[in-house]
Amino acid sequence: MLCLGIESSCDETALALVKDGKLIDQVLATQIDKHALFGGVVPELASREHYRFMGALYTELMQRNNLTINDIDLIGVARGPGLLGCLLVGLGFAKSLALAGNKNIIGINHLQAHLLAAGLETQLKFPSLGLLVSGGHTHIYNMKSAKEMPILGHTLDDAVGEACDKFAKMLNLPYPGGALIDKMGQSLVSQGTEINTKLFTRPYIKNDNIDFSFSGLKTAAQTYLKANPHLIENGLQVKLNGIESASDELKAVCASYLYCIASTLSLKMERAIIKYKDNGFKSIIVAGGVAANSFVRSELKILADKYKLELILPALRLCTDNAAMVAYNAYLLGKDGYHHDLRLNAIPRGQIIPDDYLQN
Ligand code: KG4
Ligand code: ZN
């Protein structure tokens, strides 16, 4: 079964081909540089860029693999959550292809696709405890199957990626700064310097739930940086001259901030393991852009080892937005006969994605 995946939910335009669960090829155009000028994704600009890139990327992918639409069995397209205008570009393109080629189409939940992406490299086992950490979402899932994933916990305000990017922004670093503050923090840890784990207090843990709130941590970081303006100035030097100009003090603050986030995620995941122990989770699956973060990866490894659970982390290139995960999710659902028709709708962020698959 050959599946074409189309991803355009935020600021990456991507297409990929997955055959019988194996990635064949993928193409991706990122808009990060364009949005960096504005300090965040500008939805209208993002939609226009998707519209500009989509057709050319499709042609490149298909020509490179000597394929035409006739060779495709199922077209998978990210239907949400995401920026509505952006999603509509992907859906419009997918529907045109489906109509022109008389092909089946399936709308893919972008968040579930992130969680399943690791299946391209390793055998996923269900049920698993899923942690999705991206720029827009921080969710804990009971991954019962590739199709059924009830949410067990979520953020009440900022997503983890947002907390990272806003911290980076306070330091004058370019958007999205998550990966850069990770690099700075990690460069200190890899020298063997101990992290100051007391600099920031883990937010929203004095309760017994498995939800998150990162807005307080952001304010604490803002207060700290205001009291230490030389760190903000150093951040500007890093922006202009690169990471080599970061002081050890700035690297240490980045490490403390990221450790605080990672250990908060780990603490809530541990609560979920204990609260839902009767589910018999077989592994912990971490996904989304922030799954690339080295502090998150190492804290969750410690947790997984403690409970003798397998830790599944997608390769870094599968953590951020891509179409391989969309094509793979389409394959997982398509092989069980699921699909949509041309009534398929885009679902913007904040709305529940309906379970409205049709089945052969
Ligand atoms: O999943 P993703 O590519 O896009 C969506 O939000 O759907 O995630 C992007 C987020 C951004 O906030 C980015 O700063 C963050 O992932 N990110 C990281 C790292 N790499 C990407 N945050 C912290 N450490 C990283 N290494
Ligand atoms: Zn994403």
CB neighbours of 48 closer than 8 A, spacing ≥ 6?
A: none
Q: What does the pLDDT read at residue 40? A: 84
Taking 90 as the threshold, does the pLDDT of residue 166 lie above it?
yes
Task: Please tell me what DSSP assigns to residue 172.
Answer: T
Q: Is residue 115 within 6 Å of ligand 1 at its C-beta?
A: no
What are 251-261's pLDDT values in tens digits? 999 999 999 99
CB neighbours of 232 closer than 8 A, spacing ≥ 6?
A: 170, 171, 172, 225
Determine the distance separating the centroid of ligand 1 and the alpha carbon of 161, expressed in angstroms.
Answer: 5
Task: Please tell me what DSSP assigns to residue 155.
Answer: B
Q: What does the pLDDT read at residue 36? A: 85
13: three-class secondary structure by DSSP: strand
The CA distance from 254 to 259, in Å, is 8
pLDDT-above-70 percentage for the chain = 100
Q: What does the pLDDT read at residue 29? A: 97
Q: What does the pLDDT read at residue 32? A: 87
The CA distance from 267 to 168, in Å, is 24
Which atom number of ligand 1 is nearest to the Cα of residue 177?
A: 14
The CA distance from 295 to 179, in Å, is 11
The CA distance from 329 to 335, in Å, is 10
Partnered with residue 242 across adjacent β-strands are none
- By most ligand atoms within 8 Å of CB, the mutation choice from 108, 134, 217, 254 for ligand 1 is 134
CB neighbours of 341 closer than 8 A, spacing ≥ 6?
A: 105, 358
Taking 90 as the threshold, does the pLDDT of residue 114 lie above it?
yes
Taking 90 as the threshold, does the pLDDT of residue 208 lie above it?
yes
Taking 90 as the threshold, does the pLDDT of residue 350 lie above it?
no
Contact 78, 110 (CB under 8 A): yes
Taking 90 as the threshold, does the pLDDT of residue 360 lie above it?
no
CB neighbours of 187 closer than 8 A, spacing ≥ 6?
A: 243, 246, 251
Backbone phi, then psi, for 286, in 5-degree steps? -115, 135
Average pLDDT score, the chain? 96
Q: Is residue 11 within 6 Å of ligand 1 at its C-beta?
A: no
Q: Which of 44, 45, 54 is nearest to 96 (CA)?
A: 54
Q: How are strands ordered across the β-sheet holding 138-143? A: 151-154, 138-143, 128-133, 283-287, 310-312
Q: What does the pLDDT read at residue 232? A: 98
Q: Is residue 161 within 6 Å of ligand 1 at its C-beta?
A: yes
What are 276-311's pLDDT values in tens digits? 999 999 999 999 999 999 999 999 999 999 999 999
Tell me which ligand sits closest to the C-alpha of residue 314.
1
Q: What does the pLDDT read at residue 143? A: 98
Annotate 293-307 with b (16+ C-beta within 10 A) or e (fewer): bbbbbebbeebbeee
Contact 87, 48 (CB under 8 A): no
Contact 110, 101 (CB under 8 A): no
Both tokens of 319, joined, read: 């953590």
Both tokens of 14, joined, read: 């991507």
Determine the distance separating the centroid of ligand 1 and the alpha carbon of 201, expressed in angstroms.
Answer: 22
